[in-house]
């Protein structure tokens, strides 16, 4: 399936009646951004990734247009983009060990999590001090009088003590253990399930805890625990998108979905920071107030701002669009958006960046206070083999456009 496609309940479709009923329950009254409900079917939105319902896996792939929609090509593009944006590629010891099959996006994240878990357990789980209050037959620490009076008025031989202990039972290891438990409940590859079971043995001393978004938000890493960062990032993605089936117990839902518009923007930011950092300061999602009243204010937030490091160059605004323009030029709404950004942020140059065959159309806004321009730029995201283009190729395309604005290249 591709983004914005429809999937209906019918003969030969991966969407069975039972799977559709589970998706309806998952959608709920408040809805989900991943898909909308149809009569006996669903329509996917701009989110891409994998939704697993029990033993059924639905893969939603990116595609800015419908020309030559090759699933293998766009699956590889999505995986490469995710690796670039998350930076996980650097932490993978052997990329050849990632077996990319039909469920590759789903398997990729599970295998990356297990790689991180195995690295952490090989180095040794971290320990922390924690406070313990419990009944004992011998006094350890200090006597906890409220608990002693409450629990031991009859049992004089017991002590309700409060003390500190230094062990593995803290929130970081509890998050990893809970993620392993979730992975043991869903349908995954046999070799991955074996690795999950082996890792669970390493967390026997860690207590089971219900991990909430609030607990994840309160986690702070230090120099000793920063090695947990990658594993926690993937664990957060899995835990917050896991929805157990409390009615039947065998149709758990795990949705690893990504907003393609945001993913395209983050990918471009990564490319620009790597290839243009010597000449521009690359800033993402910088907002500024454009309307203010006594009660409220309104802000504009361009995707990317390039601030020159020398005084001879000008500021450039880039607005990324994961779509294909219907006409030979940009749409009126996109042009108005760039015009507003140029006026508010003091830029004379704007770029509308789309995926597509390499095309460039430049025009100028006609105003009384001077001219500013906007370039519609389409850049190829795949090479002739169907692989995601390397960042230096895309970076070079952007450099060629900005070469029209400045002679400092």
**Are the C-beta atoms of residues 73 and 382 closer than 8 Å to each other?**
yes
Specify the higher pLDDT residue, 200 or 83: 200
- Mean per-residue pLDDT, 4-21: 88
pLDDT of the residue at 94? 32
38 touches 30 (CB < 8 A): no
φ/ψ (deg, to 5) at 38: -120, 175
Determine the Cα–Cα distance for residues 140 and 393; give it in Å rounded to an integer.
65
pLDDT of residue 265: 92
Q: How many CB atoms lie within 10 A of CB 52?
A: 21
Q: What is the mean pLDDT of residues 16-45?
A: 87
CB 117 within 8 A of CB 231: yes
247/170 Cα distance (integer angstroms): 31
Phi, psi of 353, deg, nearest 5: -105, 115
Mean pLDDT of 365-389: 78
Confirm if 132 and 162 have CB atoms less than 8 A apart: yes
Q: Is the pLDDT of residue 1 over 80?
A: yes
Q: For residue 232, report the phi and psi dihedrals to the nearest 5 degrees.
A: -65, -35
The residue-averaged pLDDT of 318-326 equals: 87
For range 266-271, the mean pLDDT:
89
Q: Which pLDDT belongs to residue 157?
A: 81
Q: What pLDDT is stored for residue 104 in this prediction?
A: 62
The Cα–Cα gap between 168 and 129 comes to: 9
The pTM (predicted TM-score) of the whole model is: 0.75
For residues 344-369, average pLDDT: 85
Q: How confident is the model at residue 156 (pLDDT cuts 50, 70, 90)?
A: confident
Task: Please report, to the nearest 10 degrees, the dihedral formed by the alpha carbons of residues 169, 134, 213, 119 taken in order.
Answer: 0
pLDDT of residue 119: 94
Q: What is the CA radius of gyration of the chain?
A: 27
49 phi, psi to nearest 5 deg: 140, -140
The percent of residues in the chain predicted with pLDDT above 70, rounded, is: 86
At 324, the pLDDT band (50, 70, 90 cuts) reads confident
State the pLDDT confidence band at 22, using cuts at 50, 70 and 90: confident
For the segment 71-95, the average pLDDT, to the nearest whole number, is: 66
- What is the model's pLDDT at position 248? 52
**pLDDT score of 232:** 92
Cβ atoms 44, 1 nearer than 8 A: yes
Q: Give 61's contacts (C-beta < 8 A, 6+ positions apart).
A: 1, 2, 3, 48, 71, 74, 75, 78
* pLDDT of 255 over the 70 cut: yes
The listed range with the strongest mean pLDDT (63-67, 166-170, 368-372) is: 166-170
How much is the pLDDT for 402?
A: 60
Residue 330: closest CA among 265, 372, 377: 377
User: For residue 29, what pLDDT is reported?
Assistant: 63
| C-alpha distance from residue 221 to each of 91, 117, 166 (Å) | 18, 16, 17
What is the structure's pLDDT at 195? 94
Taking the CB of residue 388, how many other CB atoms lie within 10 A of it? Answer: 22
The yes-or-no verdict on residue 309 having pLDDT over 80 is yes
Residue 202's pLDDT is 94
396-401-402 Cα angle (round to 5): 95
- In angstroms, the CA 37 to CA 320 distance is 28
pLDDT in tens, 283-303: 998 889 988 998 899 999 999
Query: What is d(CA 165, CA 162) in angstroms, rounded to the nearest whole number?
Result: 10
Report angle CA 219, 258, 234 to the nearest 5 degrees. Answer: 35
Q: Helix/strand/coil (H, E, C) string of the chain?
A: CECCCEEECCCCCCCCHHHHHHHHHHHCCCCCCCEEEECCEEEECCEEEEEEECCEEEEEECCCCCCCCCHHHHHHHHHHHHHHHHCHHHHCCCHHHCCCCCCHHHHHHHHHHHHHHHHHHHHCCCCEEEEEEEEECCCCCEECHHHHHHHCCCCCCCEEEEEEEEECCCHHHHHHHHHHHHHHHCCCCHHHHHHHHHHHHHHCCCCCCCCCHHHHHCCCCCCCCHHHHHHHHHHHHHHHCEECCCCCCCCCEEEEEEEHHHHHHHHHHHHHHHHCCCCEEEEECCCEEEEECCCCEEEECCCEEEEECCCCCCCEEEEECCCCCCCCCCCHHHHHHHHHHHHHHCCCEEEEEEECCCEEEEEEECCCCCCEEEEEEEECCECCCCCECCHHHHHHHHHHHHCCCCCCC
More confident residue, 372 or 125: 125
Average pLDDT over residues 127-148: 83
Q: Which of 38-52, 92-106, 172-186 has the lowest mean pLDDT?
A: 92-106
Averaged pLDDT of the chain: 82
392 pLDDT band (50/70/90 cuts)? low
390 versus 37: the higher-pLDDT residue is: 37
> With 60 as the cut, is the pLDDT of residue 102 above it?
no
Give φ, ψ of 119 to 5 degrees. -65, -40
């Amino acid at each position: 399936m591709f983004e914005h496609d429809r999937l209906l309940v019918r003969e030969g479709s991966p969407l069975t009646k039972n799977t559709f009923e589970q998706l309806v329950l998952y959608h709920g009254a408040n809805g989900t951004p991943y898909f909308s409900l149809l009569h006996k079917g669903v329509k996917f939105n701009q989110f891409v990734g994998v939704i697993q319902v029990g033993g059924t896996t639905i893969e939603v792939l990116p595609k800015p247009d419908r020309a030559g929609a090759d699933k293998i090509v766009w699956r590889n593009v999505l995986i490469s983009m995710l690796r670039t944006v998350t930076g996980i590629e650097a932490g993978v010891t052997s990329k050849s060990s990632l077996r990319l099959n039909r469920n590759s996006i789903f398997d990729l994240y599970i295998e990356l999590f297990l790689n991180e878990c195995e690295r952490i357990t090989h180095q040794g789980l971290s320990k922390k001090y924690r406070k313990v209050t419990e009944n004992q037959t011998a006094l350890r620490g200090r006597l906890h009088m409220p608990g002693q009076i409450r629990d031991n008025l009859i049992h004089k031989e017991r002590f309700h003590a409060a003390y500190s202990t230094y062990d593995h039972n803290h929130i970081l290891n509890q998050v990893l253990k809970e993620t392993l438990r979730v992975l043991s409940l869903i349908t995954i590859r046999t070799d991955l399930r074996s690795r999950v079971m082996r890792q669970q043995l390493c967390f026997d001393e860690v207590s089971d805890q219900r991990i909430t978004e609030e607990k994840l938000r309160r986690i702070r890493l230090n120099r000793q625990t920063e090695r947990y960062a990658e594993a926690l990032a993937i664990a957060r993605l899995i835990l917050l998108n896991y929805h157990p089936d409390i009615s039947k117990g065998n149709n758990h839902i795990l949705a690893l979905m990504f907003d393609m518009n945001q993913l395209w923007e983050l990918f471009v930011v990564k490319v620009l920071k790597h290839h243009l950092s010597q000449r521009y300061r690359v800033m993402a999602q910088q907002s500024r107030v454009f309307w203010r009243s006594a009660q409220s204010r309104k802000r504009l937030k361009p995707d990317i701002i390039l601030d020159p490091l020398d005084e001879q160059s000008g500021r450039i605004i880039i607005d990324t669009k994961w779509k294909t323009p219907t006409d030979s030029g940009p749409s009126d709404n996109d042009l108005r958006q760039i015009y507003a950004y140029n006026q508010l942020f003091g830029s004379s140059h704007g770029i509308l960046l789309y995926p597509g065959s390499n095309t460039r159309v430049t025009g100028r806004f006609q105003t009384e206070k001077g001219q500013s321009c906007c370039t519609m730029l389409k850049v190829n995201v795949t090479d002739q083999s169907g692989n995601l283009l390397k960042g230096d190729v895309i970076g070079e395309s952007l450099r060629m456009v900005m070469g029209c604005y400045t002679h400092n290249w």
